[in-house]
Copies of this chain bind each other. A is one copy, B any other.
Amino acid sequence: MKNKLDGVEEILLMGPGPSCIHDSVYEALGLKTLGHMDPYFIDIMDEIKKLLQTVMKTHNRMTIPISGTGSAGMETCFVNLIERDDPVLILINGVFGQRMQDVATRLGADVDSLEFEWGTPVIPEKVEDMLEKKNYKIVAVVHAETSTGVRNPVEEIGDLLRGKETLYLVDTVTSLGGIEVAMDAWGIDVLYSGTQKCLSCPPGLAPVSVSDRALDVILGRKTKVPNWYLDVSMLTKYWGGETRVYHHTAPINMNYALYQSLFLSVEEGLENVFRRHLECHNMLVRGLDDLGINMLVSPDFRLPMLNSIHIPEGVDDAEVRSKLRSNHKIEIGAGLGPLAGKIWRIGLMGHTARKENVTRVLTALKEVLNK
């Protein structure tokens, strides 16, 4: 029998995630599996919670990795908070805002949405207008819109919600560990992320944090959460408290890998990590400019870790990506939705954000584009 895994080769992951993985994270992944109720694994769980609190800048006790990918994090936040007909406002300027709208609508919420042009940020003044007209239970926004490379003004939107009962829900899938996320200072109540972006851990877990205020709302629900797997009230009993209560079997080895990737970020120092992302981004933008390639997003709202660039005129989108993959062993991302065929997305996430990688992708692009 031929083993398909024999053909797995190393690709430089410069798409919208997964990102490149540090050797020590691969090693962590391959450590011996412990039981999900093993006392030593429970110690590791406690350390993961603390490291997540550090990276998210929060004191929330309910700060854990959900046993699914980033979208399971999104599902967790909405399904635990929403009861039928709850008024929810979703701010949309890309695929992941749209996904929030879909998730919340399926759960029976009364969803209003405010849409902004893809490639531009959410405008806080427009949000303020909406908030004056209606009381929302939840206002939700994506911090780093992976589909466009836009950073939304999460802190400013948080300021608009101060003193209100409204819960503030933020997607930090692509931002966490690459730019500042200050959950408590920015007044965020519920936050989710993914492991395969700036944390540079393989995909499979979704860090989630819930403020005490939001947890009270969850524990005070009139109806049971219509999702057993993601029910926060049960997850807290497995991940916290004196006596751990079995809920589901946590993905042990993925949790090792997450621990190690968080450990690396905290050891390097978050400020240093953010600076490394920014420096690589600046170097990439300069190099692209030399090739005559322009950025989609205006400088003020560009994400360092996700660079959307205009595909040069007359160039075959798929052919270039395919050549980068086959001849240069580099993956970059295609555009999504209305931006399909119009942009490429170059990721500089986590361990990928190294100057040698920027040089490599610029050299490869130059060759493939015959510049």
User: Do B4 and A229 touch (CB < 8 A)?
Assistant: no
User: Do A35 and B8 touch (CB < 8 A)?
Assistant: no
Encoded as 1 (CB less than 8 Å from any B CB) or 0, chain A from 246 to 269 comes to: 111111111011011001001100
List residues of chain B with CB within 8 A of the CB of A224: 105-106
Question: Which chain B residue has the least Cβ–Cβ distance from A223?
Answer: B106
- A226 vs B254: C-alpha distance when bound (angstroms): 27
Chain-B contact segment, one of A20-28, A110-118, A164-172, A183-191: A20-28
- CB within 8 Å of B: which of A12-32? 13, 15, 17-18, 20-21, 26-32
> At the interface, yes or no: A7 with Cβ under 8 Å from chain B?
yes
Q: Given the known inter-chain contacts A5-B256, A253-B29, please indicate yes or no for A71 contacting B229, CB distance below 8 A.
A: yes
Encoded as 1 (CB less than 8 Å from any B CB) or 0, chain A from 181 to 205 comes to: 0000000000000101000001110
A238 to chain B, nearest CB (A): 11
Question: Which chain B residue has the least Cβ–Cβ distance from A18?
Answer: B33
User: Do A251 and B38 touch (CB < 8 A)?
Assistant: no
Q: Could you say which of B11, B74, B102 contacts A34, with CB atoms under 8 Å apart?
A: B11
List residues of chain B with CB within 8 A of the CB of A72: 67-68, 229, 248
Q: Could you say which of B1, B30, B99 contacts A26, with CB atoms under 8 Å apart?
A: B30
- A71 vs B71: C-alpha distance when bound (angstroms): 17
> At the interface, yes or no: A225 with Cβ under 8 Å from chain B?
yes
Q: Given the known inter-chain contacts A5-B259, A249-B18, please indicate yes or no for A68 contacting B33, CB distance below 8 A.
A: no
Chain-B contact segment, one of A40-48, A130-138, A154-162, A287-295: A40-48
Q: Could you say which of B20, B35, B256 contacts A18, with CB atoms under 8 Å apart?
A: B35
Question: Which chain B residue has the least Cβ–Cβ distance from A20?
Answer: B33
List residues of chain B with CB within 8 A of the CB of A106: 224-228
A200 to chain B, nearest CB (A): 10
A229 to chain B, nearest CB (A): 4
Q: Could you say which of B99, B108, B253 contacts A228, with CB atoms under 8 Å apart?
A: B99
Encoded as 1 (CB less than 8 Å from any B CB) or 0, chain A from 69 to 107 comes to: 111101100010000000000000000000100110111
- A336 vs B263: C-alpha distance when bound (angstroms): 35
User: Do B4 and A47 touch (CB < 8 A)?
Assistant: yes
> At the interface, yes or no: A9 with Cβ under 8 Å from chain B?
yes
List residues of chain B with CB within 8 A of the CB of A103: 228
* 10 CB-based A-B contacts, threshold 8 Å: A7-B40, A8-B40, A17-B249, A18-B249, A38-B325, A71-B247, A106-B226, A204-B251, A227-B227, A251-B254
A18-B249, A202-B252, A251-B254 known; 13 new pairs, CB 8 Å cut-off, are A1-B267, A11-B32, A13-B35, A18-B33, A18-B252, A21-B33, A29-B253, A36-B203, A67-B72, A69-B248, A71-B248, A106-B227, A226-B226
